Amino acid sequence: MVTGKKRTFVLYPSLGVGHLIPMVELAKHLLRHGHGALIAVVNPPDTDAVSVAAVERLAAANPAIAFRLLPVPASPDAGADWVKRDLDTLRLANPVLRDFLLRSQPATALILDMFCVDALDVAAELGVPAYFFFASAAGDLAMFLNLPYLYPTLPSFRDMSEALVRCPGMPPVRAMDMPLTVQDRDSDRIKVRMYQFRRIPEGRGVLVNSFAWLEP
C-alpha cells in the first residue's frame, strides 16, 4: 500500500468509448478528493478512429488526468463474437499492463472495468490491490454475480418470455428483458460472460454507480 497524503489510482477501462467515459468521471471524483488518477487505455491495432479521437478529446478536456495508451496485439480470432474478441484482446494486454505498472509510480490500487477480469492476475503478481468499477446500478451487479449459480437451473432466457427471473438483491425481471449478452444459455458468448462474473468477486471490492434513494 502506498503511504502519504496523495494516493495514485490507476483506472483500467475496457474497450470502447462507452467504458472509457465512466472511468473519466470516476477519475474526476478521485481528483476532487485530492488523489491522483491515471487512466491506462488499451489500444489494439484495430481500434477505430472514433475511439482514438475520443481519447484525445477527453485527455485535452481533462489535463489533470493522465492518460496512457497501451499498444497491444489484436485478438487472434477476429471473426469471434465481440464479447470473446474483447476479452481476448484484454488478456493479451496483461504483459503490457504489467510492464507499465512496473515503470510507473507505485499505484495505491488498480480500478478495473468489469470486462478486465484477467488484469486481476497482474495485480496479484505485483501486489497491487484491485477493485472493480461497475458503472451500472447495483441491481445489475447483483444479477451478474448470481447468474453463474442461477442459470444452470433455468432454460435460456430467450425461451422464457414473460417469466420472471428472481435474483437476490434485485426486483424480479422478465426473462425477455435480461441483457442480450445473456439471453442464450448455450452460446459461446454466455461462457465468456460467466467467466467474467465468476472472477469479479476475486477483487478487493466493487465500486457501484448507485445510491440509496434509487435502490433502497
Average pLDDT estimate for 106-133: 96
Phi and psi torsions of 211, nearest 5°: -155, 160
Domains and CATH numbers, the chain: 8-135 (3.40.50.2000), 138-190 (no CATH)
Residue type, 144: F
Catalytic residues: 19, 113
pLDDT band with cut points at 50, 70 and 90 for residue 84: confident
Q: Are 54 and 17 in contact (CB under 8 A)?
A: yes
pLDDT digits (tens, 9 = 90+) for 169-207: 888 999 999 999 899 999 888 999 999 999 999 999 999
Residue type, 13: P
151-154 LR contacts (CB < 8 Å, sep 24+): 151/182, 151/185, 151/190, 151/194, 154/185
Q: Is the pLDDT of residue 3 over 60?
A: no
pLDDT band with cut points at 50, 70 and 90 for residue 210: confident
Average pLDDT estimate for 123-130: 97
Burial class (CB in 10 A: 0-12, 13-18, 19+), 78: exposed
Q: Are 93 and 70 in contact (CB under 8 A)?
A: yes
Output the CA torsion 110→27→88→115 (10° steps): 90
pLDDT digits (tens, 9 = 90+) for 27-51: 999 999 999 999 999 988 776 655 7
For the chain, give the percent of residues with pLDDT over 90. Answer: 64
